[in-house]
Amino acid sequence: MKYNVAVVGATGMVGNKFLEILEERNFPIKNLYLFASKRSAGKNLTFKGKDFIVEELKEENIKNKEIDFALFSAGGSVSLQYAPIFSNYGITVIDNSSAWRMDPSIPLVVPEVNPEDINWNKGIIANPNCSTIQAVVALKPLYEKYGIKRIVYSTYQAVSGAGMGGFSDLKEGYNGTAPNKFPYPIAGNILPHIDVFTDNGYTKEEIKMINETQKILHNDDLRITATTARVPVFYGHSESINVELEKPFDLKDIFELYNDAENIILKDDIENLVYPMPIDCEGHDQVFIGRIRRDFSIENGLNLWVVADNIRKGAATNAVQIAEYIINQNK
Ligand code: A2P
């Protein structure tokens, strides 16, 4: 069986990656429809060697089409407005923005962690924040086997997470061009600031990591804190995760756990200087884990270094995996 698929925000950083990943994974597509803003209407994008014309996103351009899945990555306000419209036409929306993630009636899903939540969707499924996705993939095996008391996240996030604008701020910044997307230069710099600041001093990105982790692991009492920073890296978010487990553990069992886990690649051989780095993870769909070591300052403490391609597993791949899960359930 083949499906009609729409990509909303097709000209953007994640939109482009949706097309690449649908092609790579040979997603069973009957018809493909591409939507973006009015500015891009009429533009051509290639999929499987064929040209497709980008259409302006408006209800008129949707209502006469038969669409099964819509993959959205055109920002929060577009999702807030259009995801319900698509869903009213019976289209399953998988939304990469933060618009619907914390809505209790909408599942927030990472297929390696909580695929069962896909089953109660009512037409919209939210894709988590890029830094949350790779973190929960790493935490899930620990959570199941040992339980988790507390998590401390510190992130080192690539500029592509801020879309085309973030990418060009870094690229052009090295030539001395002033930034457009970020408030300060990112070339040769680190900004301890992702998304807007909230009243309690945290950024929205930090709050997203905390709230989304609790929602995905179905545990609102989980104690979590986070500091998120933008670093001059094009692709691949890195995260230091300090975790306090409920139960005692043997380090060698943690290594075994990760060796056996789905879509996790263990890269931890310090004698040979093997550890995950963004340049090695770019272009891959797995989550890479290394620098695994005991935190001696607390009981049952563990430190991890977790890296993944933020545009692939952190966004496009995760959304396509959700659609694949639905297709497999319906077989
Ligand atoms: P466009 O290229 O026409 O502006 P990124 O996050 O990489 O900047 O990409 C954002 C994506 O969202 C782009 O495809 C962009 O299209 C799309 N987009 C932005 N605003 C709208 C809108 N109002 N309606 C539809 N698509 C939009």
Average pLDDT over residues 34-50: 98
Tell me the two tokens of residue 6. 């729409």
CA 173 to each of CA 129, 179, 180, 185: distance values in angstroms, whole numbers, following the listed order: 26, 7, 10, 7
Domains defined for the chain, CATH in brackets: 3-128+315-329 (3.40.50.720), 131-310 (3.30.360.10)
CA of 212 to the centre of ligand 1 (A): 24
Q: Which residue's CA is the nearest one to ligand 1's atom 6?
A: 163
pLDDT at 330 over 90: no
Q: Is 284 a catalytic residue?
A: no
Average pLDDT over residues 60-83: 98
In the chain, % of residues over pLDDT 90: 99
C-alpha R_g of the chain: 20
C-beta separation of 142 from 254 below 8 A: yes
Q: Is 130 a catalytic residue?
A: yes
Instruction: Provide the whole-model pTM.
Output: 0.97
**Active-site option among 218, 237, 281, 284:** 237
Separation CA 133–CA 273 (nearest Å): 26
CA of 57 to the centre of ligand 1 (A): 10
> From edge to edge, which strands make up the β-sheet containing 287-295?
223-230, 148-157, 237-245, 301-308, 287-295, 264-266
CA 129 to chain centre: 5
Tell me the two tokens of residue 91. 């289209």
Per-residue pLDDT, 96: 98
Per-residue pLDDT, 170: 98
pLDDT per residue over 246-286, tens digit each? 999 999 999 999 999 999 999 999 999 999 999 999 999 99
Per-residue pLDDT, 331: 84
φ, ψ (nearest 5 deg) of residue 289: -125, 135
Per-residue pLDDT, 30: 98
pLDDT per residue over 148-183, tens digit each? 999 999 999 999 999 999 999 999 999 999 999 999
164 CB within 6 A, ligand 1: yes
pLDDT at 311 over 90: yes
CA of 36 to the centre of ligand 1 (A): 5
Per-residue pLDDT, 171: 98
Nearest to 268 by CA among 138, 129, 110, 153: 138
